Amino acid sequence: MRLLFHLCSFLSAYLLFAIQPVVAKALLPALGGGAVVWGTCMVTFQGLLLLGYLASHYLLKHLSAQSYLPWHLALLALSAGWTTAFGVLQPAVVSASWPWVTVFTACLSQVGMPFLLLSFSTPLLQRWCVELGADPYPLFGASNAGSLLALVSYPFLVEPILALSQQTQCWRMGMMLLVGMLCVLRVSIRLPKTTIISAAKGKSLSSRRVLAAAGTSAAGTALLLSVTNAITFDISSAPLLWVLPLALYLLSFVIVFQARPWIHEGFARTLLPWWLSGALILYLMGRYQVGISGSVTVAGQLIVCGLGCWLVHARLSQWKPADERALTSYYVAMSAGGLAGSILVSWVLPVVVNDFLEYPLALAAVVVCLSKRPLMRAGRSPAVWAMLGFVVMSVTLWVVLMSLGQAHGPVAGFVGTAAVIMVLALSKRMLSWWVGMALAVGAMTGPSKAILWKARHAVHYRNHYGIYEVADRGERRYLTHGTTNHGIQNLTTESRSIPLSYYHRGGPAGELLGRMPSRQRRFGMVGLGAGAMAVYAQPGDTFEVFEIDPLNIAIAREHFSYLADREKAGVTVHLHQRDGRQALAEREGSFDVLLLDAFSSGSIPMHLLTVEALQVYLNAVKPEGIILMHISNRALKLRPQLASGMAQLGNVVYFKDSEDLPDEALKSSDWALFAPNPQVSEALATSQQWETLTNRAPLPAPWTDERSDLLSAWRW
């Protein structure tokens, strides 16, 4: 029967985590493919997990596990039919201004009940072991193994092979299998009444342990979601990049809850400063747009996540109860802390701060959780090292900025990080500078960063769709979304109508549009940025933009004059706050030129690149119209994927890229050209030297709404 206990624990955990990326992926198209989807899913699922643990804590204080099990089995069987076909899942109401509300309500309505019951299963099985007089902690291993397998197998096995609807069917079959296995277990084991009465008394953790466990758990979850945001803001909000950090997060639980821990406090003290220094360097490289490949970014952030969670969960394991009857209290404390960390990162900070502060704040939280000593202490006080780190950091940044000029933010950031490492290396007492390191992180994001912002005349904005910076450098204004430039404009009156960045007249798109005959045309554009592409619309033309992010629309209107200047010149401009794909599906045969540039930061909304999406674009333009898609990306190779999708539709796509020019405002870019009439695109491509895909390697399987995976497009 021990094997059956382990199998039930394994399967319940597998099902619990297997459904999470399925739901989130199904909801992505309705919310424009934004990172808010996964963050809100995490909040929702952790909230349901907490409810499950609270219910188990209360019920198992008054009932034995065996006496409650029949009710649990009945509810599990009923909930297996709760879910709908996720391949066609659409929220009842979509709110672009409050996307988290859409995700939250959709998750609750679709998988709320089965997820809640699955979260109840693990503590139920472990409590049952206690009533039998067996050690419940080995079930942690089975449960964590199931969770890890569910997460790791999804992007590498499940997602490439099974469509969304098939994934849902398999999950339902797994639910019924779990019910059957629990029934076998219930029939096979019977407890004497005396054991049941004894086990029903239960026990709770002390308030000190509850607070410590909750706070430490919150730090770990905040780090997990901050690292996930750092990755998905720049590459894509997709299951592969969701589950890898989460898998490392769970792996750290497996490691630290072994009977003989794999990490010792002395090693943690040695590792901590170098972990934090590396994390700060990664943060600054992203903050100051230091170009590194997507693979290096992901690998570095995964190391930060894995080691950081390992460190913080090692401390969390020290708060586990000696009395197994207090296990449910421990679960409740951990879940409450995890939920608090998720809410802070996913819901609170995007509203109350205007920059990516969750990352350094999560680092500081980890440091504080690992600190044992109070801030003030007789003798060699940690406060001394804290003040030293703070002063060195701030003064170094200030001196570098003043001496090198306003355009050297990256240099200042790296020098400041080097100063932190130097302070840490000079310290001989490991514990003494933990609090100092936390304050050094604060210096990095507080006064020092304020100096940088002021020097660059920058304004920052943030909402659930991303982080924007509008900064003036010399005679130009820059728009940055996350870590990627999304537009540049000259500030002088005589040159402000000259398009810059990826949209300059010498680039692929600018060159093609500039040579098209001037006649009354209707332009459609998905994704706004600074609005530079409007320059190619001539008097009498109509320029319609579909932008899901209301903040982007406000920034383009308030800080850039591309749209206003074209309106004054006689161009009719219409701005629609909608998801581009959904809007274009209603505009069949409407446009002469359709421009697609909807990538937030460097992130690719995958639902805009599926075969179904390509068909929507082809239908939205007139028979002689054309479609231009901006596909520049540091981490993903989109040419083969687009070529595969167009081949599936019996059409052809052409590509052209450009290199960086000496003027840093004229950026390199990669564009795709296609049309509903292949002869139209072929004529343009031939005259302007656009080419089809020259790589002779087999094309990858095309992405569809039901089946897509990031690995097939990864730039290794």
Instruction: List pLDDT tens digits, range 433-472.
Output: 455 455 455 545 544 444 444 445 678 888 888 889 898 8
Q: Identify the pLDDT of residue 392.
A: 56
* 102-111, 232-241, 291-300, 692-701: the lowest-pLDDT one: 291-300
Taking all residues of the chain, what is their mean pLDDT, rounded to a whole number?
80
* 266-270, 522-526, 683-687: the lowest-pLDDT one: 266-270
150-164 mean pLDDT: 91
Contact predicate 480/468, CB 8 Å: yes
**Dihedral sign for Cα atoms in the order 201, 206, 207, 212:** negative
623-644 mean pLDDT: 91
Query: Higher-confidence residue: 711 or 280?
Result: 711
Other CB atoms closer than 10 Å to residue 377's CB: what's the count?
A: 12
Residue showing tokens 């909608």: 578
Q: Is 50 exceeded by the pLDDT of residue 376?
A: no
Q: Is 70 exceeded by the pLDDT of residue 641?
A: yes
Instruction: List pLDDT tens digits, range 501-517.
Output: 999 999 999 999 988 88
Among 3-17, 374-388, 426-440, top mean pLDDT goes to 3-17
The token duo for 100 is 């988290």
Q: Identify the pLDDT of residue 194.
A: 46
Confidence of residue 134 (pLDDT cuts 50, 70, 90): confident
Half-sphere exposure of 251 (CA within 13 A, CB side): 18
Cα 348 from chain centroid?
A: 16
482-506 mean pLDDT: 90
60-84 mean pLDDT: 71
User: How far is 594 from 680, CA to CA, in rounded Å?
Assistant: 14
124-134 mean pLDDT: 76
Q: 135, exposed or middle or buried, with CB in 10 Å at 0-12, 13-18, 19+?
A: exposed
The pTM assigned to this predicted structure is: 0.82
Looking at the DSSP assignment, which residues form a beta bridge with residue 341? Answer: none
Q: Which of 545, 615, 594 is nearest to 574 (CA)?
A: 545
Helix (H) or strand (E) holding 508: helix 508-515
Instruction: List pLDDT tens digits, range 554-599.
Output: 999 999 999 999 999 999 999 999 888 889 999 999 999 999 998 6
Rg of the chain (C-alpha set)? 28
Q: Which of 380, 341, 391 is nearest to 220 (CA)?
A: 341
Residue 616 three-state SS: helix
User: How far is 308 from 213, CA to CA, in rounded Å?
Assistant: 16
User: How far is 489 from 474, CA to CA, in rounded Å?
Assistant: 11
Q: Identify the pLDDT of residue 404.
A: 47
* 182-186, 389-393, 425-429, 466-470: the lowest-pLDDT one: 425-429
660: left (phi over 0), alpha (psi -120 to 50) or beta: beta
Query: Higher-confidence residue: 99 or 498?
Result: 498
35-46 mean pLDDT: 88
Confidence of residue 34 (pLDDT cuts 50, 70, 90): confident
Query: Higher-confidence residue: 544 or 257?
Result: 544
200-207 mean pLDDT: 60
**% of the chain surpassing 90 pLDDT:** 34
Q: Is 90 exceeded by the pLDDT of residue 302?
A: yes
Phi, psi for residue 544 in degrees, rounded to 5: -105, 135
Q: Identify the pLDDT of residue 594.
A: 97
Q: Is 50 exceeded by the pLDDT of residue 196?
A: no
Q: Identify the pLDDT of residue 262.
A: 64
Instruction: List pLDDT tens digits, range 667-681.
Output: 889 999 999 999 999
Confidence of residue 428 (pLDDT cuts 50, 70, 90): very low
Q: Which of 325, 339, 328 is nearest to 215 (CA)?
A: 339
User: How far is 596 from 599, CA to CA, in rounded Å?
Assistant: 9
Among 26-35, 68-77, 705-714, top mean pLDDT goes to 705-714
Q: Identify the pLDDT of residue 58.
A: 77
Looking at the DSSP assignment, which residues form a beta bridge with residue 479? Answer: 470, 487
Residues in the chain: 716
The token duo for 399 is 């001196």
